[in-house]
Amino acid sequence: MADNLSTYRAKRDFKKTAEPSGDVEVRSSNRRRFVIQKHDATRLHYDLRLELDGVFKSWAVTRGPSLDPGDKRLAVEVEDHPLDYGDFEGTIPKGEYGGGTVMLWDRGYWEPEGNRSPEDALAKGDFKFTLKGDRLHGSFVLVRMRHDRDGGKRINWLLIKHHDEFLSFGS
């Protein structure tokens, strides 16, 4: 797990930020957790974090998740975060990586959909999952985009709500 967090740790000075370092072990759960944090940094966005392989796989979602299947939200893949980040709320100091206010927006559990393992689905770039949270429920998909305006400096995905009983148009 430490290798999964090396990029996360390299981007932060834990003497300056109250963000968790990942040194605290989080009790395992019989279900996979997710958290969405509202992050008012350089640009307001929402961080989607899905527990997988002992870390939170993470995406910065512009304008936050939508319950309208017609909305395709840009989700920029970011470094893995430690599981204790799921409880983090606070202000990252200005000048530090991700500087700004972080607030817990939603949390709950997620389940993969389909026959592929979550790891295989992520590798293929077509990752379907169901959220069971305080605010969000239902089926979503992350689809990796092929062409990147940044020349491959970041991995862009689209977060899309599937048609199900939890959808809402114009949300």
Q: Is residue 58 part of a domain?
A: yes
Q: How confident is the model at residue 147 (pLDDT cuts 50, 70, 90)?
A: low
Q: Is residue 140 part of a domain?
A: yes
Q: Is residue 17 part of a domain?
A: yes
Report how many domains make up the chain: 1
pLDDT at 123: 95
Q: Is residue 49 part of a domain?
A: yes
Q: Is residue 170 part of a domain?
A: no
pLDDT digit string, tens, across residues 29-62? 899 999 999 999 999 999 999 999 999 999 999 9
pLDDT at 43: 93
pLDDT surpasses 60 at 156: yes
Q: Is residue 166 part of a domain?
A: no
pLDDT digit string, tens, across residues 109-119? 999 999 999 99
pLDDT at 28: 79
Q: Give the structural domain span for 37.
A: 2-161
Q: In angstroms, what CA-CA distances link 147 with 126, 140, 150, 154?
A: 15, 22, 9, 11
pLDDT at 149: 60
Q: What is the pTM of this model?
A: 0.91
pLDDT surpasses 50 at 171: no
Q: How confident is the model at residue 65 (pLDDT cuts 50, 70, 90)?
A: very high
Tell me how many degrees the CA angle 33-125-115 measures, rounded to the nearest 5.
65
Q: Is residue 167 part of a domain?
A: no
Mean pLDDT of 9-13: 95
Q: Is residue 91 part of a domain?
A: yes
